[in-house]
Amino acid sequence: MGKFVIQKKSNGLYYFTLNINGRVILNSEGYTSISGCHNGIEAVKLNSKNDSSYKLGMARNGKYYFYIKSSNGQIIATSELYDTKITIENDINKIKECGLTAHVYEKNN
């Protein structure tokens, strides 16, 4: 089961993570308002089933990552780093399975 967790950080911005089976799969960019953060989550949900929304990349350290883009081309959320492309594919499939139905939780600081 997946869940989105919203948290306000010390810099005053709101961030969300998508956690699946107790592991963080995606991290958002910072939002100035909690409503903006909720909009970002909705964008992930809407784009979670679309193969074309997922883009792969490679970090400077040689590890892989992926990100989800919205229909307007904006990056919504970025994954953790992975050693292999197979593990990326597994996590993308998990997002496709439960991203749309994941519940949203607001974490109090």
Q: Mean pLDDT, 10 residues at a time, over the chain (109 residues)?
A: 93 95 93 95 93 94 94 91 93 91 86
Domain count across the chain: 1
Q: Give this prediction's pTM.
A: 0.91
Asked if 32 and 40 touch (Cβ cutoff 8 Å), the reply is: no
Residue 22 belongs to domain with CATH number: 2.30.29.80
Task: Identify the domain containing residue 103 by its residue range.
Answer: 2-107
Q: What is the pLDDT of residue 109?
A: 58
Q: What is the pLDDT of residue 73?
A: 87
Q: What is the pLDDT of residue 82?
A: 95
